[in-house]
Amino acid sequence: MQLGTRWSVRQEPPAALPEAMLVAVRTVEEELADEGVDASTWRWTLTWLERRPIAELDDGTRIHLDTLGQAVTTPPHDDEP
């Protein structure tokens, strides 16, 4: 695994992210804003696993590329019963 970088919600993501990932990041951020979530202090963490990007938001939301290059978003886990 290779550590990439971190950036704040609503800030410009790293240019190295593929377009599918950029769209997915924007979609997650728009959904949070639409739901009224204050994510102003949240940050994304970008890592690379076998040359594929993985972006994880502070709340646990993860975005990665599948084998076809499509972005897959996994929501944070709800640990409550």
Query: Is 80 within the bounds of a domain?
Result: no
Query: Is 32 within the bounds of a domain?
Result: yes
pTM comes to 0.89
pLDDT (tens digit, 9 = 90+) per residue, 18-76? 999 999 999 999 999 999 999 999 999 999 998 899 999 999 999 999 999 999 999 99
Higher pLDDT, 15 or 79: 15
Query: Is 12 within the bounds of a domain?
Result: yes
Query: Is 81 within the bounds of a domain?
Result: no
pLDDT recorded at residue 59: 96
Could you tell me the pLDDT band of residue 77, with boundaries at 50, 70 and 90? confident
pLDDT recorded at residue 4: 77
Domain with 59 in it: 2-74
Nearby residues of 40 by Cβ (< 8 Å), 6 or more positions away:
9, 10
pLDDT exceeds 80 at position 12: yes
CA-CA distances (angstroms) from residue 42 to 17, 38, 39, 78?
19, 9, 5, 18
Q: Give me the number of domains the chain comprises.
A: 1
Query: Is 19 within the bounds of a domain?
Result: yes
